[in-house]
C-alpha cells in the first residue's frame, strides 16, 4: 500500500465545520443579549428620556399654566382715573342748539309780550298769554274772551294782520270752528286765529310764529 497524504473523511469535515460555527454563533448573539439586558434594566428603574413617554409633560415650577402672549401684559388704554375715557355727551359746551326763553302767565299779557304783533281786540279780556324766543324764531300766543261775535273777531284780526303785510289764506273755518290763517315772507312767518263759543260770548286764540326781527 502506498503512503500518500491522507484525506479527511466526511465525518471529520462535519466535526470540523461544527467546531468552527459554534464560536461564530455565540459572537453574533452577544450584542442582542446585552441590548435586551439594558432595556430590562431601564424598565425596572423607571427611567425614560425627557419629553418622551405617555406621562411626559412640560410644567412650570409653580404648577400653573404659562400665560399666553395675547393675555400677558395686555391692557386696555384708560383715562387718568384708570377707567375708559368717556364718550363726549351731546350736552357738551360746543352744542349749537339755540337757547329758548319762554314766559307765560294767566289773566294778563306776559312781560315782553309783542302786543304790536298780536294786539288785544278792543273790549276783549286776556285770559292767558305766552312768549318764546330763540335766536332763529319767536312764538307768541294770546287767549282772550269777548262778547263780540266770531265774525267780528275774524274781521278785526284780518285787518290787523293785513296792515302788517300778512296775506289771508282762503277759508274762514276749520270744521265747525271759525278760524283764519295768515302768512308772510314766503311762508316763513305765519299767524292763526280761532274762535269758539264760551258761556255768553266767545273765546279766541291768536298765535304767531315769526322771525325775531319782526317782534314789536
The pLDDT tens digits for 113-167 are: 999 999 999 999 999 999 999 989 999 999 999 999 999 999 999 999 999 999 9
Q: Which residues contact 136 (CB under 8 A, 6 or more apart)?
A: 98, 211, 212
Q: Cell for 116?
A: 304790536
The rounded Cα 185 to chain-centroid distance in angstroms is 42
Q: Rounded to an integer, what distance in angstroms lies between the CA atom of residue 185 and that of residue 165?
A: 9
| CA 88 to centroid of chain Cα atoms | 13
Neighbours of 13 (CB within 10 A): 11
Distance CA 37, CA 178 (A): 122
105 vs 38, which has greater pLDDT? 105
Q: What is the pTM of this model?
A: 0.55
Amino acid at each position: 500500500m502506498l503512503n500518500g497524504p491522507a484525506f479527511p473523511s466526511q465525518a471529520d469535515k462535519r466535526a470540523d465545520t461544527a467546531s468552527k460555527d459554534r464560536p461564530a454563533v455565540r459572537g453574533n448573539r452577544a450584542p442582542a443579549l446585552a441590548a435586551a439586558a439594558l432595556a430590562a434594566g431601564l424598565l425596572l428603574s423607571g427611567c425614560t428620556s425627557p419629553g418622551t413617554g405617555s406621562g411626559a409633560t412640560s410644567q412650570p415650577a409653580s404648577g400653573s399654566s404659562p400665560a399666553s402672549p395675547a393675555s400677558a401684559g395686555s391692557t386696555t388704554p384708560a383715562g387718568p382715573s384708570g377707567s375708559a375715557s368717556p364718550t363726549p355727551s351731546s350736552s357738551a359746551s360746543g352744542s349749537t342748539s339755540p337757547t329758548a326763553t319762554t314766559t307765560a302767565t294767566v289773566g294778563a299779557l306776559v312781560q315782553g309780550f309783542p302786543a304790536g304783533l298780536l294786539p288785544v281786540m278792543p273790549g276783549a279780556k286776556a285770559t292767558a298769554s305766552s312768549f318764546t324766543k330763540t335766536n332763529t324764531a319767536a312764538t307768541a300766543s294770546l287767549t282772550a274772551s269777548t262778547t263780540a261775535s266770531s265774525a267780528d273777531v275774524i274781521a278785526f284780526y284780518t285787518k290787523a294782520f293785513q296792515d302788517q303785510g300778512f296775506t289771508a289764506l282762503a277759508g274762514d273755518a276749520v270744521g265747525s270752528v271759525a278760524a283764519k290763517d295768515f302768512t308772510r315772507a314766503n311762508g316763513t312767518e305765519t299767524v292763526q286765529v280761532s274762535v269758539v263759543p264760551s258761556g255768553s260770548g266767545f273765546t279766541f286764540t291768536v298765535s304767531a310764529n315769526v322771525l325775531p326781527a319782526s317782534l314789536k
